[in-house]
Amino acid sequence: MALQDYIRSRFFPHIWCVGCGHGTALNALLRAVETLGLDPSDIVMVSGIGCSSRMPGYVDFHTLHTLHGRALAFATGTKMSKPELTVLVPMGDGDALAIGGNHFIHACRRNIDITAIVLNNRIYGMTGGQFSPLSGPGVVATTAPYSTYDPAFDVMRLAVGAGASFAARGSTYHVVELQQLLVKAISHKGFSVIEVLSPCPTHFGRRNQQGDSVEMLEWLKANTAKLGSKAAEENPELITRGIFVEDERPEYCEQYERILEQAREG
């Protein structure tokens, strides 16, 4: 199927701002789905609330736009009740790790076969630029006019620590790599977390002297490095991209099948 066959083109142009990384992330995700040759009727996309959560409106899958932070809980019910479905969950940083933090760590722990795509723009965009648990210190936001002093979560360490069997970080500058990571994340049997560094020019870039989308992508180019690369070794300040964990571990729905067998045998 062509890319156009996976989208609800009547709703374009989309709601996201000029140069928003989320559009590029959607672009990469659609190409990953296309590469995998998935039937849109076999895909459910579940989202919460926020800029990222508008993604389901644009894809021609089964789509469920839920409550702030709760997407993974809804998705767990969907996957557990019909395990043959491919379940994709785009989330924002607040959605995934502030209000939804509890659901996030438990989804990781269960290792249920869902792909969580954390679109990290380090800000609450939809509500107008408040700081998030991924903003980190030294960021100016509408709720941090004197700058933030809150430390940020490291999504990769959190996901791995909580038990996700696949965790990877990409960026919307490194688009080919991002598509490849998404293909791996979706194909992976188990809970996959993929963090996408996704610029928000409107609310983050503007307030933090990072400029427009072009300048923010240049920043990602200059300030990230491949995991295990020489650049990353030489400069620990760089944000690393790549696969942080890729383990084969018992998947939750498959484990339940064993329980069903056990219960049937009495």
Q: CB nearer to another protein: give 16 or 191.
A: 16
Q: What is the smallest separation between the CB atom of 89 and another protein, expressed in angstroms? A: 11
Q: What is the smallest separation between the CB atom of 251 and another protein, expressed in angstroms? A: 14
Q: What is the smallest separation between the CB atom of 136 and another protein, expressed in angstroms? A: 24
Token pair, residue 11, equals 């709703």
HSE on the CB side for 264, CA within 13 Å? Answer: 6
Q: CB nearer to another protein: give 234 or 257.
A: 257
Q: What is the smallest separation between the CB atom of 78 and another protein, expressed in angstroms? A: 4
Amino acid at the residue 173: Y
Q: What is the smallest separation between the CB atom of 128 and another protein, expressed in angstroms? A: 18
Q: CB nearer to another protein: give 87 or 144.
A: 87
Q: CB nearer to another protein: give 54 or 169.
A: 54
- Contacts of residue 116, Cβ cutoff 8 Å, sequence gap at least 6: 72, 89, 91, 96, 104, 107, 191, 192, 193, 194
Chain residues binding another protein by CB under 8 A are 3, 7, 11-14, 16-24, 26-28, 30-31, 40-42, 44, 46, 56-57, 60-67, 70, 73-82, 84-85, 102-103, 106, 172, 175-176, 179, 201, 212-214, 217, 256, 259-260, 262-264, 266
Amino acid at the residue 68: H
- What are residue 89's DSSP bridge partners? 116
Does residue 45 contact residue 32 with C-beta atoms inside 8 Å? Answer: no
State which H helix or E strand residue 29 sits in. helix 21-36
Q: CB nearer to another protein: give 13 or 145.
A: 13
Give Dmax over CA atoms of the chain in angstroms. 65
